[in-house]
A and B are shown apart, each in its own frame.
Chain A
Amino acid sequence: NAGVMQNPRHLVRRRGQEARLRCSPMKGHSHVYWYRQLPEEGLKFMVYLQKENIIDESGMPKERFSAEFPKEGPSILRIQQVVRGDSAAYFCASSPESYNEQFFGPGTRLTVL
């Protein structure tokens, strides 16, 4: 059973471009969480999704950021018009049920030039 997969592992964007981060949960997992890790900081919750539903996006910036988890395919975290402050590691985690242990992917390291 493959673990949580994230791609790309590294992403470089110039200011103003769009960044798309993908997360494929573990097989059988229907709950996905996105976290952001800024330098010298712990992970901060961004958004929690189930298939085709956003359950909690209280940690997501109100502008430029969006997330989806379609019926088919990976979960996508989209950042429009990136700025240097968006440079961070973005981690995805999945669980089979909402109360269960979360399994983390290897992360996508976004660098904004």
Chain B
Amino acid sequence: AQSVTQLGSHVSVSEGALVLLRCNYSSSVPPYLFWYVQYPNQGLQLLLKYTSAATLVKGINGFEAEFKKSETSFHLTKPSAHMSDAAEYFCAVSSPSGYSTLTFGKGTMLLVSP
């Protein structure tokens, strides 16, 4: 069975500050990992994904994440927050074998203040 834990249901940063959203996973097989962003009343948009290639993954909007097997983590970072980054972020895991249903964390709401 797979699971995802996102530490912190809400994270507040100032505009221009570092963004760090934490994600830890549990998986019995090497996983595929994803970060999605959800703006209010909208669907999910893929930010980036790890599929067993490079451990540092760069995504859209200046976000990146690093897969650390020893820590079972896949934290999302952005050097400098922008007001438009305010949204809810979901970490998800799937198995590379078989079909790819996603198991999501509970989400982290990112609040950006001026």
Q: With contacts defined as CB atoms under 8 Å apart, how many contacts are there between chain A and chain B in the complex? A: 60
Per DSSP, are chain B's interface residues mostly helix, strand or loop, or mixed?
loop
C-alpha gap A106/B102 in the complex (Å): 17
Chain A contributes a number of interface residues (CB within 8 A of B) equal to 28
- Please, how many angstroms separate the alpha-carbon atoms of A4 and B4 in the complex? 26
Do residues A91 and B43 form an inter-chain contact, with CB atoms below 8 A? Answer: yes
Contact of B61 with A by CB under 8 A: no
B contact residues, range: 20 to 34
Map CB proximity to A onto B77-114 as digits: 1 under 8 Å, 0 otherwise: 00000000000001010001011111111110000000
Given contacts A4-B43, A101-B49, A107-B43, contact A43 B104 (CB under 8 A): yes
What chain A residues lie within 8 Å of B45 (beta carbons)?
104
The 7 closest A-B pairs by CB, nearest first: A42-B104, A98-B99, A104-B43, A104-B44, A106-B43, A42-B106, A43-B104
- Residues of chain A having any CB pair with chain B under 8 Å: 4, 31, 33, 35, 40-45, 48, 55-56, 59, 91, 93, 95, 98-107, 109
Q: What 1/0 mask marks residues of chain B from 17 to 56 whose CB sits below 8 Å from any chain A CB?
A: 0000000000000000000100001111110010000000
